[in-house]
Amino acid sequence: MPAYKIRDIKPNPFRNVDRYPIQRGKIDALRESIRTTTYWDNIIARQSGKDVEIAYGHHRLIALEEELGPDKEIILIIKELSNEDMIQIMARENLAEWGTSVTVLHETVRAVVEAYGAGEIELPVPERGEPGHKRKFYYAPSFSRDVKPLTKFADRARTHSAPGLPMIKNNDKDNDKAFPYTIETLSRFLGWGTGNTKWDTRTREVLWALELIDGGIVKEELFNGATPIEATALVRATRKVMSASDTASNFHEKDAEEAESMLEDLSTAESFAKDSGDKSALSAISKEKKQAHLRIASSRDLSKKERRKGREQTIAVAEAVSEKLKDREGRAVDVADSVAWSFIGKRNKRVPTVEGFAAKMDKRCVGLFDPKLDRTFCQGLDEVLTHTDIIKPSILTNLANSIKSLSDRALAYEQKFRTAGKKRHDPKPIKP
């Protein structure tokens, strides 16, 4: 077997030397072992051009250099290893030796997703979900499901399913940047227990953590020294506060969208009014359009403010949970939940409640088909009625059927809410 100078041996290209922690205690233990039993010639490597890259044994290599010097030649086991082999061997060694290290788990997943997104490795094509169960897809190099693929070819890859989970060629120009993966395919590639719910859950939580880190919400150093249970508690508490923030922001965003829809209806009504020369209607519509524009601007502004304030509070809760967990007092999940709910409680005056939303829906129902409150829609129907003599009977029949269908659906909802109201005469407060 060939021998190489220690100084010429390169690390695994998928191991981020700056981010992976080097444990001084482990190096010292390895140096003592080398002095006692010598080097065992058991590091696997591959030839990569003029370089030789080790698949694992980075602590051992440092210990050998410190103990024997950089010019010492050592024997390596050279094998034909693909990029996938190199990263999988590294992942399995990390799991065996550092399975309880949160930072190592983070860096292992990060290495796979980033290499996949760069087209350096291949992952199994995600399978379609079972009927009625939507599969949750990620697209490398992102750790967030909110990031969508940039090409139409991702749709083809995303829905593909075949026996044996064939590989997708990420370096094909026709599939550029369409790198789909799921929690299951990532766990399977890493060898973290195929079909093992525990490791699928762990993979998901690592992805959540990386999403928070890359989003600037949680500082990476907050995970240093944390146990997997503590890291899970930190991530879930942070996401809980983030969800409350998103609820408030989305509430105002939906209000803006409703106003935009109303504005479109008003424009249609305005067109009818101009054709008929109804100046009174035009004046009223003009005022309503101004109010709609103001409502859109106000709601969008409130949405941005909620999102900005929510981000600040989410960052603060992550740091607060991290500090509390250092005390090691009580169950990690209980400690984290307590901190999260204290922050959510501060937002109670601003976060819309379910009851508030129900009241808003009540007002919208009252306005339906009311000439005073739903002027645009009713004027449109009245305008159609004035021209029934030139409209095809089939179109009028379809409109009548649609209104009848709307009436039937309204009656069905009326029955559901009336039944629910009878069951709860004394409703209890809803927990935020």
DSSP characters for 107-171?
Answer: HHHHHHHHHHHTTSS--BPPPPPPTT-----EETT-S-TTPPPSSTHHHHHHT---TT-PBP-TT
Domain with 385, as residue range(s), is: 228-423
424/45 Cα distance (integer angstroms): 69
Of 9-13, 95-99, 186-190, the range with the highest mean pLDDT is 9-13
Neighbours of 51 (CB within 10 A): 13
The DSSP string of 366-421 is HHTT-TTTSHHHHHHHHHHHTTGGGS-HHHHHHHHHHHHHHHHHHHHHHHHHHHHH
Residue in this structure with the two tokens 């006692």, named with its chain if needed: 36
Instruction: Label residue 351 by pLDDT band (50, 70, 90).
Output: very low
How confident is the model at residue 225, as a pLDDT?
82
72 and 191: one domain? no
The domain boundary, picked from 188, 215, 242, lies at: 215
288 and 379: one domain? yes
Residue 429 falls inside a structural domain: no
- Which amino acid does the sequence have at 405? S
Start-to-end CA distance of the chain, whole Å, equals: 66
Mean pLDDT of 253-265: 89
Q: Which residues pair with 4 in a beta bridge?
A: 74
The CATH number that applies at residue 22 is: 3.90.1530.30
146 and 112: one domain? yes
66 and 130: one domain? no
Tell me the chain's radius of gyration from C-alpha atoms: 31
Residue 53 falls inside a structural domain: yes
pLDDT of 42 strictly over 70: yes
pLDDT of 429 strictly over 70: no
310 and 393: one domain? yes
Residue in this structure with the two tokens 């760069």, named with its chain if needed: 118
Residue 312 falls inside a structural domain: yes
Q: If you average pLDDT over every residue of the chain, what do you get?
A: 80
Say how many domains are in the chain.
3
206 and 289: one domain? no
Greater confidence (372 vs 415) lies with 415
The domain boundary, picked from 19, 53, 81, lies at: 81
418 and 288: one domain? yes
pLDDT digits (tens, 9 = 90+) for 188-215: 888 776 555 655 788 888 999 999 998 8
Residue 285 falls inside a structural domain: yes
Q: Which residues pair with 45 in a beta bridge?
A: 54, 78
Residue 390 falls inside a structural domain: yes
Residue 14 falls inside a structural domain: yes
How confident is the model at residue 133, as a pLDDT?
44
Q: Which residues pair with 73 in a beta bridge?
A: 5
Greater confidence (279 vs 366) lies with 279
Greater confidence (125 vs 292) lies with 292
322 close to 228: Cβ distance less than 8 angstroms: no
Helix then strand count (H, E) for the chain reads 13, 8
How confident is the model at residue 2, as a pLDDT?
83
382 and 296: one domain? yes
pLDDT of 170 strictly over 70: no
Greater confidence (357 vs 420) lies with 420
pLDDT of 155 strictly over 60: no
Instruction: Label residue 354 by pLDDT band (50, 70, 90).
Output: low
323 and 413: one domain? yes
188/174 Cα distance (integer angstroms): 26
55 and 98: one domain? no
Residue 150 falls inside a structural domain: yes
Our CA angle for 51, 53, 58, nearest 5°, is 135
Mean pLDDT of 348-362: 58
156 and 237: one domain? no
Helix 102-117 vs helix 83-98: crossing angle, to nearest 10: 170
196 and 252: one domain? no
Residue 40 falls inside a structural domain: yes
Structure tokens of 10?
A: 């390169």
How confident is the model at residue 327, as a pLDDT?
79
User: Smallest Cα–Cα separation from 432: which of 367, 357, 317, 347?
Assistant: 347
How confident is the model at residue 373, as a pLDDT?
64
The domain boundary, picked from 182, 215, 248, lies at: 215
Instruction: Label residue 346 by pLDDT band (50, 70, 90).
Output: low
